[in-house]
Structure 1
Amino acid sequence: MATSRTRTRPPLAGALVYLESRKNLAGSACGLLGLALTFTGLAGPYWPFVVAGLYGAGALIAPPERSEAPCFPDPAEQLDALRADFATLRAYLETVELPPAAAGRTTELTNVLEALLDPGWAGGGLADDPEGMHTLARAIRQDIPESVDTYVRTRWWTRITPGTEPPERHLERQLDLLHREAEKLAAALHETEVRRQHTHTNYLQGRVSDGP
């Protein structure tokens, strides 16, 4: 029998949240005003309705509750997590037997990725490039593991169905494409650093030219 996994908030917890809400605080303040009118005799015999009405009015005019904005990991934390995933990927690749050509391409690719993740060099520029970080994360967490795992599974079937295209050819093409993508990312990060250097040079030249 299927069961629902929807979690409902306990009634007591919901009541406590409302007690601390702006609507209840504003309504209570207006309700106290109604009690003050009752004690002074201004509310008359209808004081329960006056108190309830003022409480409701205060709850209605109170500003709505503001939800807290979600807190996501900063770029430095994302890079640390990506480096940990890259270490996991390299450990996995060491357990897989690849043909020489594919193994060489894998080494070239992982060397570029390692350089991109180096905390002392390209890592700083990568943290300022969300698209680049997404590209790198996709390669490490999805593309490379899927390429290698698909090769391993296809190779097993090729043994019992000879005559088909060798799966290592597809693997080599995939690794070549991923290597080109990683080099393109590295070139873009390098270009960013070059522009930053030129900008700083122009700033210094302008500061000296405008000086006394």
Structure 2
Amino acid sequence: MATSSPAGRILAYLESAKNLTGSACGLAGLALTFTGLAGAYWPVVVAGLYGAGALIAPPSRPSVPGFPDASSRLEALRADFTLLREYLDEVDLPPAAAGRLVELTGLLEGLLAPGWVSEALAADPEGVHALSRAVHQDIPESVDTFVRTRWWTRMTPGSEPPERHLERQLELLHREAEQLATGLREAEARRQQTHTRYLEDRGGH
């Protein structure tokens, strides 16, 4: 509801907890007036009770923004990964680099596959960030830089083959993905060990 205009601010206050609580206390003051307990000072009593009620009411607060959760971010990342695969299918790479790229994308596909693996990944914000960086930045940048550098190398032969850098970059990215997969596996192993200890402690062994 918009509250920037004076009318909007007034309406917002009328609906606020402070006004509702104050009004309830004010009605209690009116009840005292009708019973004769407030006497001639009933306006002061009613106003005082209203003010006291407004003071003790919890302050209004803005709603917390609803950011996407990890599962929805992974779902969007899967769609982006599909676009990346379509782009990579159109690029002509040397056999060695192509092989490393297949290994890398296969590992990423396994990590992003719906199921318990991606559920474990969703509990690791740093892991989701690492995968997002690989899909959105690292892999397309490595491949596109190679394509552009290869054209210049053909124009000026004799320089260092760009595929060496591409192979090294893909190797490093694959190592990062492997470390992420290892971390998830170790987390599951710790979970299993914790459950074993729990059952042992429960059984008194």
What is the TM-score of this pair, normalised by structure 2? 0.74
Q: Which residue of 2 aligns with 1:99?
A: 94
Where do 5+ consecutive residues of structure 1 fail to align? 1-8, 30-41, 43-58
Identity of aligned residues (%): 66
Q: After the TM superposition, which parts of structure 1 deviate over 4 Å for at least 4 consecutive aligned residues?
A: 9-29, 59-65
Structure 1 pair 23–198 and aligned structure 2 pair: CA distance change class (3 A): closer
Q: CA offset at residue 135 of structure 1?
A: 0.8
Q: Which residue of 2 aligns with 1:173?
A: 168
Structure 1 pair 112–61 and aligned structure 2 pair: CA distance change class (3 A): same
| Distance (Å, rounded) in 2 between the aligned partners of 1:167 and 1:141 | 21
Structure 1 pair 146–15 and aligned structure 2 pair: CA distance change class (3 A): farther
Q: CA offset at residue 80 of structure 1?
A: 0.9
Where do 5+ consecutive residues of structure 2 fail to align? 25-39, 41-53
- Matching residue within 101, 114, 118 for 1:119: 114
Matches within 5 A, 1:79-158: 79-158=74-153
What letter is aligned with 2:120? G
1:7-48 CA distance string (max 9 Å, x none): xx986878876776678989999xxxxxxxxxxxx9xxxxxx
Q: CA offset at residue 190 of structure 1?
A: 0.4
Q: CA offset at residue 208 of structure 1?
A: 1.7
What is the TM-score of this pair, normalised by structure 1? 0.72
Q: CA offset at residue 120 of structure 1?
A: 2.3
Structure 1 pair 92–204 and aligned structure 2 pair: CA distance change class (3 A): same
2:187 corresponds to 1:188: no
What letter is aligned with 2:108? L
